[in-house]
Structure 1
């Protein structure tokens, strides 16, 4: 027993080679559909198989990833790289976690622009895919509400946010709502003698100021002629408001991309989110797809950097001060209310999709089929999409022949 304990301790003290770190994270990300799947695979490899981290240490990485904005799975990968190899490891692990879905979604966008795919992607098929997407988001909303919304304050915040988001269409409303939720949780938390004291060096302070400036740039209304010029910095600011999973991004990112100045159509935007579960990675993998539609390969690359790099920098900064953040009850209470508010983004995303799909029996059948598959049978997303696509294609072909 003593020899085993010594071996584990020595194993945890080893430096992970950067190439090994990249290879492992890239491989696991390429086989992970969704951020939760990536986290589970990282835990299995580095905690259970390699014994590089304790289970408690890895759970701290997951907890912090939920506390900061951005894709949770990628945030965990960045922290893991930082823990194993410092800042260089954080960059390597972050790139490795993003690269698989960046390539897949960019390829989707390339073929989407071909005449053959445009002809196949009829309005009927897009509507059926939208129904599947709405059902998937609805099931996700139900699960997140059960897990995150418990206390009276959290229920009130979630309900008020649903009402506010139904009528709000500006980035400023999203930023104010999230900030107000955190402030409400902070103020309603009982007074505690523990003080939140975080010592920041000059570089940390400059990073926080820069991230705050990006949020402000996203929030303020701009003349139409500046929307295209400042699109990518505003996308980085939008990423700083995304909590609670990728589907919460649907109404937020829509305010940036589906505008006359940018030129992404509502159909293209909805289809991007419909395709996102078919690709590995978190549901924010839609960003390279949309970036490619706007400006080709350069747009896909810049959009991915703009959304994922700021949250990665923030999670590394927070990880260095994790022990101080965890010790402050008011901070944790503020984050609990904020996470409860993010469930409203999912509810409103379902509402927006349902509003644009015609109320017809065929779409109701698709909704019922998707609900049974996702909620009861736990069928993989790609099988549901594939089944719907085949049935829809056969029906359209038969209708055309007849």
Structure 2
């Protein structure tokens, strides 16, 4: 694995800083890692970085967090993976819990509602552009020659959009079915083997703040399932969370859910940390801890289990085809969930204009970050409501 050009303490401190100041979402975060660790510090080789990125895209789990865990694993094994993962996630987790406390205290105030009147459609604009980028990255641009090559993936994608909009639920069996079908058609394996990964739910029993033990267990199981089916980007978790916490379980209202996504956009670190905010709103601090742990445990397990034999796994055409099929359906579900959420948050002309303007600004103003757009949208919300 090459010589160690850095100590574990230095690497852990780097990820602590990245988790504290790293704005811009998964694509920006993996870009910072390449710039800092490969180009400037030269702690990793280009090959090591590429292998980590390939693993992060192949296995379920939020992209940036998984790459960070892999980088920790490269030279320092299980201890390195654990410390870098915790250091990367912890700063944004603390921030979302503090924001959850403030949100619960002051969400009844008129000016807070006015802020989120502007923020909600801005989030729709941001997620729409992210969904478009994920679509292009995974399926290619909408060109006839590319559709002919990937027509089956486009079919899965469109099917997932339609089914998500109609049922308003996450369809895990659809995702797995698409993965298996694409694998059988494109690269059928010589012999199907059953690999079982033991699910781990870590339930934390803290004595402060009231919480329900029954709900805590339900939160753990739900977020464990969500963390197991996030492929490629933290935003892919949105349809799972929306269907589960808003529609099926009624843990949050539509507005609270959008506010949770907004919180993920304005805090640094992985976007998936929105689960901590949701967990806090549902069941206090223990809920936040369980939601975050349950979401990141599958990501951690897949990385440390697959990393030692990754080159062999990555070369397997059947595995690649399975992941391609699932990814197409998951991104389709993300687009479907954007349509559902937009229908409830874009309620009048001002909110429609904010959504369109936010998406346009992201496309045409290259150095603009999501946190800046959300700040402007918050100010617009207050101004519009005060007129």
| TM-score bucket (shorter structure) | 0.7 to 0.9
After TM superposition, the structure 1 stretch with the greater mean CA deviation from structure 2, 74-83 or 246-255, is 246-255
5+ long unaligned stretches in structure 2: 141-149, 203-212
Partner of 2:291: 303
Task: Specify which structure has the bigger relative contact order, considering alpha-carbon pairs within 8 angstroms and separated by 6 or more residues.
Answer: 2
Distance 2:254 2:189 in 1: 48
Alpha-carbon shift at residue 80 of structure 1 (Å)? 0.7
Partner of 2:338: 350
Partner of 1:107: 98
3-state DSSP of counterpart to 2:118: helix
Distance 1:329 1:75 in 2: 22
Distance 1:153 1:125 in 2: 43
> When the two structures are aligned, how many residues end up with a matched partner?
366
294 and 18 in structure 1: CA distance in 2 versus 1, 3 angstrom threshold: same
Normalised TM-score (structure 2)? 0.86
Q: Which among 20, 30, 46 is matched to residue 37 of structure 2?
A: 46
Q: Does 1:28 align with 2:27?
A: no
Partner of 1:70: 61
Distance 2:48 2:117 in 1: 44
3-state DSSP of counterpart to 1:14: coil
The 5 A counterparts of 1:246-395 are 246-258=234-246, 263-357=251-345, 359-378=347-366, 379-395=368-384
Partner of 1:161: 160
3-state DSSP of counterpart to 2:232: coil
3-state DSSP of counterpart to 1:332: helix
Distance 1:394 1:291 in 2: 31
Partner of 1:6: none
Q: Does 1:90 align with 2:81?
A: yes
Alpha-carbon shift at residue 358 of structure 1 (Å)? 5.1
Q: Is the 8 A contact 2:134 2:331 kept in 1?
A: yes
5+ long unaligned stretches in structure 1: 1-8, 199-204, 215-224
Alpha-carbon shift at residue 297 of structure 1 (Å)? 2.2
Alpha-carbon shift at residue 148 of structure 1 (Å)? 0.9
Distance 1:97 1:30 in 2: 8
Q: Is the 8 A contact 1:249 1:345 kept in 2?
A: no
Alpha-carbon shift at residue 75 of structure 1 (Å)? 0.3
Partner of 2:127: 137
CA RMSD, aligned part only? Answer: 2.6
Distance 2:192 2:37 in 1: 32
Alpha-carbon shift at residue 70 of structure 1 (Å)? 1.6
Distance 1:328 1:337 in 2: 15
Alpha-carbon shift at residue 359 of structure 1 (Å)? 4.3
Deviations 1:329-360 (A, max 9, x none): 12112212222222212211221122113542
Q: Is the 8 A contact 2:118 2:379 kept in 1?
A: no
Q: Is the 8 A contact 1:227 1:261 kept in 2?
A: no
Distance 1:118 1:112 in 2: 10
Deviations 1:253-310 (A, max 9, x none): 1333236866322221111102211100122121111111123222222211111122
Deviations 1:137-173 (A, max 9, x none): 11112112122114111111111111121223445xx
Normalised TM-score (structure 1)? 0.83
Q: Is the 8 A contact 1:18 1:89 kept in 2?
A: yes
